[in-house]
Structure formats: structure tokens, C-alpha cells
Structure 1
Amino acid sequence: MPLLLAACGTESEVAAKPAMWLVEDADTRIYMLGTMHALPAGTDWNRGKIAEAAASADELMLELSPQQLAEAGAIFQALAPRDKPLAMEKRLSPKALAAYRKLEAGNDFGGEKLDDWAVLVLMGQKVAAEAGLSPADGVEAGLTATFRTAGKPISGLESARTQLMLFETLDPATQRTLLASAAENADHALADVSAMAAAWSRGDADALAKVINEDVDRVPAARKAIITDRNRRWSGWIATRMDKPGTVLMAVGAGHLVGTDSVPALLAAEGYKVTRVQ
């Protein structure tokens, strides 16, 4: 998810070789690149096979088109407020509340006025900021600039509203479980982000699946809505797109391309030729 997923690193240049797959038939090639939506400045990922895929692609497919990404903030502001304020003390255990307050320090989230899912989003953004990450240095931003310069079309698999409604429509118990889990683990958030970034950078799909899915796997309803159902929709889009000749670079959050129910795994199960190319 562009609003949640990030990677960690330093200000110096970091060489990265993220995993990428190719699904192809006689006249269609679709590259599937697992991304980090926010990265530290100087992360060198846009080279080698990725540069070749971008150069050969006729179009770029992202989770959100640039226009939809630009609208996400306003839609978040419209969806996030609660009908009635609820103090964080009534949502979190004392231990989770203490960790939440520590993360919130210096930047009041106004959480009592927000739905649980919205507080979760703001927590993720704060962790990214503390890690020195910026969406401007993320994979999507870099690819968008490359394709715009080349005059190639850029599209999105989802709208910003659809993406945020995945959280808004989670049942209250699931939202509260996700929030409580994130708060309880807030002290370890930077370490977890670092582990995720390291796995992504070296293209370790198994390690990446473990790090990214570890928390959400504990909440089946959230996993179904945020990961599994979307993977099925996106693999369906690819299956349809395979009927049209050409080359596409599809760049989506890395968590969607790893694991047993990932987009590449679903396509392979349907009989498509899927090859990891990086």
C-alpha cells in the first residue's frame, strides 16, 4: 500500500536489487516489480534488469496512477474522522498506549477524533519519517518520472478511494486488533522496517514475505481484504491484459509479489509462464 509500506536506509547511496518477475506468452510480456513506496535518498535500484524492463515497456501500471495518488490525501481527510471522538486510553492497553504515546511524541495525531485504521496509517507515516524515508525517493516516484520523460502512459490498478476503503470497511474488531498490534510493537517498528528494507534490497523473496506478512497474517480478515483479494484481482487484470500484445511494467508493493498467494504464484497456478528475472 502506498500509504503504509516503506523501507529503511541511510543518506548514502545504497545499491538494491529488488525481485522482479516476468509473465509472458507469444506476443505479450508483463514485468512484475515489487516496490518500496518510500525510500531514503540515494537508493540505487533503477538499473540492470529494471532499467531494461522500463526501457522496453510500452506502459507503466502502478497501484495508483499519479492523479489518484495526488488525490489520496484529501480522500483520507474525508474518510478518517470518527462519528464521535474516542480517547486512545479506551482503545489501547496501558502497555500499547505507552508505546503509542512515545511514537506520537512531537506530532499529535489527533487520534481520538479518527477511526482506528486512520490512526494506524498515521503511525506508519511517522515511522517512515523517523527512518528518513520519502515517497519522493520511492520506486513509484522514480518510475513515474522515467515514463513521463519517455512520454509513455501511466495507469493505476485502483483508485485512492478504493484503496482507503479497504481499511474503512474493515469491521471495528479487526481495525482495533490491527491498531493494538501496531501500538504494542511500536518500539520495534524501525527495526522491522530495516529488516524489510534489507530483504527487499537483496531480493530475498522468502525473507520479505516473512517480514511483511508476519503481522497481517495474525488478522485473517485484514489479510483477505488487504492482500489476498487484491492479489486475485490484479492477477485477473494480468490474465486479461495478456490477450493484448505489448510490454507492460507493473510495479506494486513488494508484499503482493511474495508468498504462496502472491500474484506470480496465482498466475503460475493458472498455467501462465512466470519467470523470476531479477
Structure 2
Amino acid sequence: MRRAPASPDQGRRRIAAALLPVLLAACGPVEPAMKARPAMWLAEDVDTRIYILGSMHALPRGTDWDDGAVGAAIEAADTLVMELSPAELDAAADAFRELAPRSTPLAIEARLTGKALTGYRALEARGRRLNGDGLDDWAVMVLIGQRVAQNAALSPDEGVETQLTERFEAAGKPITGLERARGQLMLFETLDPATQRALLVRAAEEADTATRDVLALTAAWSRGDVAALEKVVNEDIDAAPAARKAIITDRNRRWTAWAARRMERPGTVLMAVGAGHLVGAEGVPALLEARGVRVRRVQ
């Protein structure tokens, strides 16, 4: 049965929830440890293999995710490819400080009212002030995501990229990135003002349930539940089309084109990108298949 379309507000909430793992920079203890089996695909031809692993950029401490088929892929891969290289990850904070400030400060009370303002103030009450008056709407949304991560006790030190970087550096294997840190943030910076404001309002309005949403997303990732991930990330594509196109769809297409070109050279690659980019008809595995590449799920 075809589901009834969700409201625009629901769609914006899903997109905001999907973005939270992308921009987390929080840390904190959590227990108990989680056993995870994230989804992974293999694109291959006669002399090239690209393992495509869905990542979470911050996880509960002690999450055990790198055994089984994923562990074998880590050992087999000659190169690790992530959204950002280690050097670009290190550059992200400086890029944020450059791009986030508004040319003219605007009080949060002029941007948020009612439930949204209440949610924003409640987040501030649980930690340091967010000091959003001097920041663009998208940057305030990032800070909300960071605070939600803190409340969910997720740690980037336990995230897939950090752990993979340590493994590949220890093995002396090269690590590259698909994007630049500044370029990633420019995806938000260049969203039209109405879309930025809509995403900020929804993130603030749903602050009281965002921790639960992020933990549910993490649980779906840990089960390799691509249907649940698709529901969160890819549903209601028309709800916030500008954000959807810039942050998810266009990037998926660029990464697919990169993978298709990489298939022309021999070798074994582990490609680790946010799990939300790998699910549904517009996810990277499906787009590669549409190009005639043989792709199969291996975990």
C-alpha cells in the first residue's frame, strides 16, 4: 500500500535528523557497549573491488562494529576513501569558524518562537550557551546537532571514520577523501534563507525528541536495517527539495561517478560514507547498479 505523503514539517524533521550524524563533534561516556553489523555492499568486476560501508560519524563508546565481513574488507582493502580525508577532518573546525558567522547578528528570539524557542533554550540549559545570535541559521542547526549528540552520549572517537583512520594509518595504507571540509559546509552556507530557517526551526522544535531520534537512527545502522534508514533519510523527497538536493542527492551522484571511474583501475578499496547515502533508489549502490556495475550486499 502506498503511504500517504508526509507533511513538509515531517520531511524537514527527517532531513535534519539525517544530518545530525554528519556534523557531530561531541563526546561522552555511554554504556552498555553495542554490537553492530552495519550494512556494506561490494561493487566489483574482474580486477576491481570497492567495498561500500555505511558509516556513523559518532557512536556510543565501546561499539563493536568492525568484525565479520567488514573486518575482512578492512584487511583486504589497499586504500580507504571517506567523505573527508584526515587532513580535511582536521580543517573542519577552522572552516566552520570562517563560514558560520553572520554579517550582522540577529537575536535567536527574532528567528525562533513558541516551541522552537523553548527547545533551543532547553538545550542551552543543559550545557553552555549556544550563542547563536552571531551565527547563520545553518550554523545554529549544527550547534543544536552537537548538543543533541552530547545528550545522546555519542563520541566521534568511537565513530567509524576515526576507527578506520587508526587502522589504516597503523597498516601504512593510504587514506583519501571525496570532498573538502569547506566544501561540505558550503552546502549549508549556500542553501536559500527560507530553507535554512525552516531546518533551524524544525531542529529546535524537535530538540526534546532529537536524542531519541538519533539513538533510533544509530540502532537502525547497527542492525544494518536499510529500510529503517531509508525511511529516516530518503522519505518525502519533496519536503525540503533544496536541502535534499544539495546535501544528499547531488553528493550521491558525485560519489557514484567517482566510484564508477575507480572501477576502471584494478585494486581493492574500502569506501566509507554516511549510511544515509547508501539506501534507496538514489543511494550510491543503486546508482552504481544503474550504471551497469555489479553490486551486491555482503553484510
CA distance in 1, matches of 2:166, 2:35: 20
Does structure 2 conserve the Cα–Cα contact (< 8 Å) formed by 1:192 and 1:211?
no
Paired residue type of 1:272: V
Give the corresponding residue for 1:18.
38
CA distance in 1, matches of 2:204, 2:162: 29
3-state SS of 1:43 partner: coil
Paired residue type of 2:86: P
C-alpha displacement at 1:212, in angstroms? 3.1
Give the corresponding residue for 2:73.
53
Paired residue type of 2:105: P
Paired residue type of 1:28: T
C-alpha displacement at 1:114, in angstroms? 0.2
Q: What is the CA deviation profile of residues 30-53 of structure 1, one whole-angstrom value per residue up to 9, with x for unaligned ones?
A: 000000000111100010101100
Q: Which moved more, 1:137-146 or 1:6-15?
A: 6-15
Q: Which runs of 5+ in 2 are unaligned?
A: 1-18
CA distance in 2, matches of 1:192, 1:240: 36
CA distance in 2, matches of 1:39, 1:198: 10
Paired residue type of 2:142: V
Does structure 1 conserve the Cα–Cα contact (< 8 Å) formed by 2:25 and 2:156?
no
Give the corresponding residue for 1:252.
273
Give the corresponding residue for 1:183.
204
Give the corresponding residue for 1:91.
111
Give the corresponding residue for 1:101.
121
- 1:136 is aligned to 2:183: no
C-alpha displacement at 1:196, in angstroms? 0.4
C-alpha displacement at 1:130, in angstroms? 1.1
Task: Name the Cα RMSD after superposition.
Answer: 1.8
Q: Which runs of 5+ in 1 are unaligned?
A: none
Aligned residue pairs, count? 278
3-state SS of 1:40 partner: coil
Give the corresponding residue for 1:192.
213
Does structure 2 conserve the Cα–Cα contact (< 8 Å) formed by 1:199 and 1:208?
yes
Question: Is the alpha carbon distance of 1:60 and 1:77 closer, same or farther for their aligned partners in structure 2, counting shifts above 3 Å?
Answer: same
Q: Percent identity?
A: 64
CA distance in 2, matches of 1:102, 1:216: 30
TM-score with structure 1 setting the length: 0.96
C-alpha displacement at 1:217, in angstroms? 5.7
- 1:37 is aligned to 2:57: yes
Question: Is the alpha carbon distance of 1:210 and 1:217 closer, same or farther for their aligned partners in structure 2, counting shifts above 3 Å?
Answer: farther
- 1:74 is aligned to 2:94: yes
Q: What is the CA deviation profile of residues 217-274 of structure 1, one whole-angstrom value per residue up to 9, with x for unaligned ones?
A: 6211000000000000000000100000000000000000012210011111111111
C-alpha displacement at 1:10, in angstroms? 3.8
Q: Which moved more, 1:6-15 or 1:175-184?
A: 6-15
Q: Which moved more, 1:122-131 or 1:98-107?
A: 98-107
Question: Is the alpha carbon distance of 1:74 and 1:86 closer, same or farther for their aligned partners in structure 2, counting shifts above 3 Å?
Answer: same
Does structure 1 conserve the Cα–Cα contact (< 8 Å) formed by 2:84 and 2:180?
yes
Question: Is the alpha carbon distance of 1:28 and 1:5 closer, same or farther for their aligned partners in structure 2, counting shifts above 3 Å?
Answer: farther
- 1:116 is aligned to 2:137: yes
Where do residues 233-272 of structure 1 align in structure 2 (5 Å cutoff)? Answer: 233-272=254-293
Question: Is the alpha carbon distance of 1:199 and 1:133 closer, same or farther for their aligned partners in structure 2, counting shifts above 3 Å?
Answer: same
CA distance in 1, matches of 2:246, 2:107: 27
C-alpha displacement at 1:103, in angstroms? 1.2
3-state SS of 1:265 partner: helix
C-alpha displacement at 1:9, in angstroms? 9.6
3-state SS of 2:265 partner: coil
